[in-house]
Amino acid sequence: MTTVIDGKNVAASVIQTVKSATAALEKSSGVTTGLAVIIVGDDPASHAYVGSKGRMAKECGFKSVQHTLPAETSQAELAALVATLNADPSIHGILVQLPLPKPLDSEPIIQSILPEKDVDGLSVVNAGKLATGDLKTGLVSCTPAGAMVFVRRTHGEDLSGLNAVVIGRSNLFGKPMAQLLLNANATVTMAHSRTKDLAEVCRNADILVAAVGRPEMVKADWVKPGATVIDVGINRVPAPDKGEGKTRLVGDVAFAEVCDVASTITPVPGGVGPMTIAMLMANTVIAAHRAAGQTPPQF
C-alpha cells in the first residue's frame, strides 16, 4: 500500500511548532519574531503570495511588516529599504518577493540581505554554509527544506546506505536539496538534462526527487519498487475534460502509475507546495531564536 504524503497536514504540524516556539521565545526573552516582506509593482500572483505569507506570519504570532513599493521604484531606493531593515533589531527575517519588475536587478538586492535575516535561504553565504555542512548557523532555502522534512519523517535523520537521486540542478532547489541529502549521509546523484540514460540512473534511487518542470516525465519504469518519490514540479497542462481552455496542475512524476511502484509519494498539488510557506515561518522563528541567543526549534 503506497503512502501518499499529505503536505497540508505536515505543513500544519510545522506551523504548530512555529507557534509554540514563537510564544516560548516571547515569554522567555520578550522577543517578538519579526518578518518583513518587500513587494515591488502590482503583479497579481506576487500580491496573492505575499498576502498569504503575511496572514500566516500573523497567525504564527509574528510582527508582520509589508512594504509595498511602486513599479517605478529605483534600485537605490530598494537597496536603501533593505539596509534599513538589516539595521532594525525587531526584524529577524527579510523577504523580497520575486520576480522584481524590470529594470530592477534582484541579485544584488538578495545578496545585500544579512545572511542571518535571509529567510529565503538565497544568499551565497547561506548556500556556502549548506555546502560545507553548516546547518547550525545557516538558513536553508524553503522548498528543499520542506522536501527534506518529508524525507526525514519517512526515513529518519540518518540516511546512511540509501541512494538518493535529484533530477534538476537549479540553485533554487536541486543543488540545496542534494546538499541536504548528502549532509544526512545519503549517497547522492545529481541528474539533469545532460545525464546519459536518465531512467537507468533513477532506477537506483531509494529516494527520488524530481524538480525539472517537465510534466509527468518520471514514469513507473523509472522508479525502483518501494522507493520514496518527492515531486517538486508544478506544471499546468490542458484539461479538456474540465471544459475548453481549462488546465490542471501536475507534477514532474506520472503520479497515477508511479503510485503502483513507490512506497511513499508526494502528490501535486498538496505535497511540497504547502511546505514552502511553512518553512519560511520556520526559518524566521529560527532566525529570531539565534538573534536572541536561544536554541532554535528543530523541524
What cell numbers appear for 37 in the block?
516582506
> Where does CATH 3.40.50.720 sit in the chain?
142-274
User: Pick the catalytic residue: 8, 19, 63, 97?
Assistant: 97
28-120 homologous superfamily: Leucine Dehydrogenase, chain A, domain 1 (3.40.50.10860)
Question: Is residue 53 flagged as an active site residue?
Answer: yes
Q: Is the pLDDT score of 199 beyond 90?
A: yes
User: Pick the catalytic residue: 117, 118, 120, 179?
Assistant: 120
- Residue 217 confidence (pLDDT): 96
| pLDDT tens profile 228-245 | 999 999 999 998 888 888
User: Pick the catalytic residue: 19, 27, 42, 53?
Assistant: 53
Question: In the chain, at which residue ranges do the beta strands (DSSP E only) sit?
Answer: 3-4, 34-40, 63-69, 93-96, 163-167, 187-191, 207-210, 228-231, 235-238, 247-250, 264-265
Q: For the chain, give the percent of residues with pLDDT over 70.
A: 100
Q: Cell 514563537 belongs to which residue? A: 22
| pLDDT tens profile 126-154 | 999 999 999 999 999 999 999 999 999 99
Question: Is residue 294 flagged as an active site residue?
Answer: no
Q: Nearest 10 degrees: CA dihedral of 199, 202, 208, 210?
A: -40
Say which CATH class 142-274 falls into.
alpha beta
Q: Cell 532547489 belongs to which residue? A: 173
> Where does CATH 3.40.50.10860 sit in the chain?
28-120
Question: Average per-residue pLDDT in the chain?
Answer: 96
Q: Is the pLDDT score of 200 beyond 90?
A: yes
Task: For residue 44, give the H/E element and its range.
Answer: helix 44-59
Question: Is residue 117 flagged as an active site residue?
Answer: no
Q: pTM here?
A: 0.95
